[in-house]
Amino acid sequence: MLTPDYLYRITEGAEQIASELHEYIIRQIVDRMMIRIGRGESYLLTSSDRWRIGVLQDSGYLIEDIAEELAKYTKRQEKEIKAAMEEAGVKALEYDDKIYRAAGLSPMPLTQSPTLIRLMERSYNATLREWRNMTRTTAQAAQRLFLNECDLAYNKVMSGAVAYNTAVKEAAEAIASGGVYVNYPSGHKDSVEVATARAVRTGISQAAGDIQIARMMEMGYCNVLTSSHLGARPTHEIWQGGIYSVDWYKLKERRPELFANLSSSITLERDNKYPDFIETCRYTYVDGICGANCRHHFSVYIEGMNNPFEKYDSKESKELHEREQRQRALERRVRKTKREVMGLQEAVEKCQDEAAKFELQQTLDRKSYLLSRQNKAYSDFCKQNDLRPLQERLQVAKWSREQAAKARGAARRYSSSKGDTA
C-alpha cells in the first residue's frame, strides 16, 4: 500500500530535474534572442535574406545545444525514475507481505522474483519512453518559439508597426511568459515539469499495482482494500476506503501481460461477496485507481482484517478537493511568473542596446511586482482556508536568493513608481 502523501512526494526528484530543464531552455532561447535582436536597431534592419540566414543558423545552434543538454538531463532522469520505482515497489510489497506472513505464507522478496522484476522494468521503460517523447517535442517547440518570435520582431520593426525597443521587449516577454509546453492530443497543455510529475506518479503507481496483483495471483488471493484521503476527486470518493474483489477474466482481457508467467496450477476465482475492483474502482483505466495522477492505492485484503481507512463526509471531501485545486492553480501561477521574471532578468543582462534594456527593465519591474502580489494572495488563501502553504511547490529550478532579492528590489521600484503603499 502506498499512501496518498507518499505518491504525492515521490515525484519531487523527477519534477525538479524537469524544472531545471525548462529553465535552461528558456534561458537558451532568451540568450539566442538577444544575440539576434538585442544589438540595436541598425543591426536588426539588415537585408531580409541575411536576417533569415542568421536566424536559421541561430536556431540550428539552439537545437544542438538543447539536444546536448537533454542527453545529460535524460541520464539523470533515468536514475531518478528507476530509484523511485524500485523504492515504491519494495514499499508496496513490504506492506502486503506482512499481511501474507501473518496468514502463514512465505512470499518471495521482490529482488528474487524474475516475474515481478520484469513487470517493474516494463513500467520503468514505458515511463522513461514518455519522458523522452515529452522532451523531444519540448526541444522542437523551443526552436519554433525562437524562430517565430525572431521573425515577428523583425517584421514589426520593418513594417513600422512598433518601435525597435518595443519589439525587443515584446519578444522577450513572449518567450519568458510563454515558455515551452507539452501538448496532449486532447488539446490540453502542461509545463514539462507538471507533465513529468504526472507521468512519473502514474508510472510508479501502476508499477506497484502490477507487482501487487501478480503477488496476489502467486498467493491465491483476490480481494483488495483501497486507500482513502480527504479531498479525493468526487469520482474516486465513492469507492475509496472499501473492499473489492478482482475479476480475473476482466483483468486478463485488459492486462494479459500480468498472466504471462502464471503457473497453470493456480486457479483464480473472484469473491462475489465484494464489488468488482475492475469496474467499480476502474482499475487499469486512465480515470480510475492507479490511473493518471491518482494518489489512491490498494493492498491485498484477507478476510477478518481491520479496515484502517476512514469514510469521509462527501460534502466535506468535495469542498476540500475544490480548495486544494484552487491552491494548486495559485501555485502554478506563482511558478509561471517566477519563470517569467527569470527570463526577463536574463534578457536585461544580455541585451546590448541600452534603450531596449531600459524597456526590458520596466517590464521586469512590473512582472516582479505581480509576483509579490501573487505570493501574498497564495499565503492569504492558505491562511483563510486552513491549508498548509507548500513552499516547495512554489519553487522553480535555479531560483536563487540573489534572483529573489533582485525580484523584490524590482517590485519595490514598480510599487514606488505607481504610488502603492500597500
The total number of residues shown for the chain amounts to 422
Q: At what angle do helices 192-219 and 12-37 cross, to 10 degrees?
A: 160
In this prediction, residue 233 carries a pLDDT of 85
In this prediction, residue 186 carries a pLDDT of 78
Task: Note the pLDDT tens digit of each residue in 49-84.
Answer: 677 778 888 888 888 888 888 888 889 999 999 999
Q: At what angle do helices 114-159 and 164-178 cross, to 10 degrees?
A: 170
Q: Is 191 helix (H, G, I), strand (E, B) or coil?
A: strand
Locus of grid cell 536574463: 346
In this prediction, residue 246 carries a pLDDT of 93
Q: How far apart are CA 187 and CA 337, in angstroms?
A: 23
DSSP string, 122-179: HHHHHHHHHHHHHHHHHHHHHHHHHHHHHHHHHHHHHHTSS-HHHHHHHHHHHHHHH-
In this prediction, residue 299 carries a pLDDT of 92
In angstroms and rounded to an integer, the radius of gyration of the C-alpha atoms of the chain is 26
Q: Which three cell numbers stand for residue 186?
A: 486532447
In this prediction, residue 229 carries a pLDDT of 83
In this prediction, residue 390 carries a pLDDT of 73
Which residues neighbour 338 within 8 Å (Cβ) at sequence distance 6 or greater?
A: 371, 394, 396, 399
Q: How far apart are CA 207 and CA 59, in angstroms?
A: 39
Q: Which three cell numbers stand for residue 224?
A: 483488495
**Neighbour count for residue 334 (Cβ, 10 Å):** 18
Give the type of residue at 365.
Answer: D
Give the type of residue at 156.
Answer: K
Write out residues in the chain with pLDDT < 50, as ranges: 397, 422
CA triple 351-353-359, angle to 5 deg: 75
Q: How far apart are CA 144 and CA 312, in angstroms?
A: 48
Task: Note the pLDDT tens digit of each residue in 349-389.
Answer: 888 888 888 888 988 888 888 988 998 999 999 999 988 88
Q: What percent of the chain has pLDDT over 70?
A: 88
Question: Is there a contact between 4 and 227 (Cβ–Cβ < 8 Å)?
Answer: yes
In this prediction, residue 339 carries a pLDDT of 84
Question: Is there a contact between 123 and 203 (Cβ–Cβ < 8 Å)?
Answer: yes
Q: Is 181 helix (H, G, I), strand (E, B) or coil?
A: strand
In this prediction, residue 54 carries a pLDDT of 81
For residue 297, is it left (φ>0), alpha (ψ between -120 and 50) or beta? beta
In this prediction, residue 234 carries a pLDDT of 84
In this prediction, residue 397 carries a pLDDT of 47
Question: Is there a contact between 376 and 369 (Cβ–Cβ < 8 Å)?
Answer: no
Instruction: Check: pTM over 0.95? Answer yes or no.
Output: no
Q: How far apart are CA 132 and CA 192, in angstroms?
A: 11
User: Which residue from 57, 65, 64 is spatially nearest to 24, judged by alpha carbons?
Assistant: 65
For residue 145, is it left (φ>0), alpha (ψ between -120 and 50) or beta? alpha
Q: Which three cell numbers stand for residue 173?
A: 516577454
In this prediction, residue 183 carries a pLDDT of 77
Question: Is there a contact between 198 and 388 (Cβ–Cβ < 8 Å)?
Answer: no
Q: Is 300 helix (H, G, I), strand (E, B) or coil?
A: strand
The helix or strand, by DSSP H or E, that contains position 245, with its residue range, turns out to be: strand 243-245
Locus of grid cell 483488495: 224
